[in-house]
Amino acid sequence: MTTKTFHARRLPNHGAQSGWTALLPPRTPTPALDGGINADVVIIGAGFAGLAAAVRLSELDPNLSVAIIDADLVGNGASGRNSGFLIDLPHDIASGNFGVDAAAQNRDEILVARTAIQLYARLAQENGWDKDIFDPSGKYSVAMTESGTKHLEEYSSQLKSMGEPNQLLGETETQELTGTRSFKSGLFTPGAVMVQPAAMVRAIADLFQGSIRLFERTPALSIEASSSGCVVKTPKGTVKAGRVVLATNGHAESFGFGRGELLHVFTYAALTEPFAPSSLGGSRKWGATPAAPMGTTIRRINGVDSDRLLVRSRYTYNPNIEAGGGTMRRAGALLDRKFADRFPDHRHLKMQYRWAGAMALTRNSVPLFGQVEKGIFAACACNGIGGTKSTSAGIATAELLLGHQSALGKVFSAFDEPQALPPRPFTAVGARVNLAYREWHAGRE
């Protein structure tokens, strides 16, 4: 019997705590794995993909034994570090990806996104989540420039041609929404959902009981695969399982999967100190993506008697899957400038929390999906849209394991394999130049 062993060359290092987790009340984590256990399936990673895979496996076979292990606490990883947008429409509004030839691709993207949203909507309804966790309020895109406004108008027209409802906002309406004179126009799309991402993944994790067991602070150190099954080794235990789901996004490469195919990119966010709601006009709760790709995202978050503003911007290539101190400082300075440009009357507000979040991209924008080794299945490479794409990858992986056929599964099975990146020195130069150009092209947006 031949056994292949895949050792983790690195473990996740998420860096500074995100503002999302900092705002949450204390939670008692599940114990780390101590000893040996058996399971039908072991899932490595308790983020969007891993949790969705566990939920779907349980739905399809309630008697299936599932073990989930995560190197950190649930909510501390990338799934709890994003801006909290679950977007149901094709993401890149300036890509020109809305022609007749792309109609099928657009339909597939919408199916992938809405399948993820439907899962969370069902969980929210069944478990009584309030709108601080899951708010199907729709979302805005806002423009600061004439070129940004043109992008929004073109996107609105293309959405209408696809039969997707949306509403353009003029300058006055946009300023009434945001409370600032910095934005020139906006676009509202009703199908998106605003979430508190760390709270949502924690809420899902805390649902598991019985046949689904979660072990936090339990990094996978190695995976052994053979014809008799798989063994995942952790610092103090082992999980023997028939199959492994790798729901680790870019850290699939740490085990040797997707090597030379995954581009590791970080983006950065900051959350202000609380301020009096009366000091800023407009709605107390809204979220807006930029009118240009790789621009700046803004959210206003309302509390009981105070509000906060979140700003997210900046993209960097980080092949070691960590954001160092110098990178964080430079990103922080940029975020401060972006914030002051949008809210000049509130530039005095201090940023109470600053953090980074990892993404894994592929050259041809497809996931690392399916069986990557006998008994090992990947649901990785979010391509910058983890809230929906990673979730649906987890769902599709669960269906693949159990032989369940669905429209979602057909979409994922039709994806090409990730294309190889150029040799690393060329990838590093190309990635940094490309990211810098895209940020420059976004301009004030």
Give 12: exposed, middle or buried? Use CB within 10 Å, 0-12, 13-18, 19+.
buried
Give percent of the chain with pLDDT exceeding 90: 88
Residue pLDDT, tens place only, 377-391: 999 999 989 899 999
Q: What is the rounded distance in angstroms from the CA atom of residue 57 to the CA atom of residue 241?
A: 14
Cβ-proximal residues to 1 (8 Å cutoff; 6+ apart), any chain: 226, 227, 228
- Tokens describing residue 12: 């996740």
Q: What is the rounded distance in angstroms from the CA atom of residue 103 to the CA atom of residue 307?
A: 41
Per-residue confidence at 210, pLDDT binned at 50, 70, 90? very high
Domain boundaries, the chain: 4-80+198-263+363-430
Question: Which of 200, 245, 246, 126 is closest to 388 using CA atoms?
Answer: 200
Give the pLDDT score at 141. 97
Per-residue confidence at 98, pLDDT binned at 50, 70, 90? very low
Residue pLDDT, tens place only, 144-184: 999 999 999 999 999 999 999 999 999 999 999 999 999 99
Residue pLDDT, tens place only, 305-325: 999 999 999 999 999 999 999
Per-residue confidence at 93, pLDDT binned at 50, 70, 90? very low
CATH of domain 4-80+198-263+363-430: 3.50.50.60
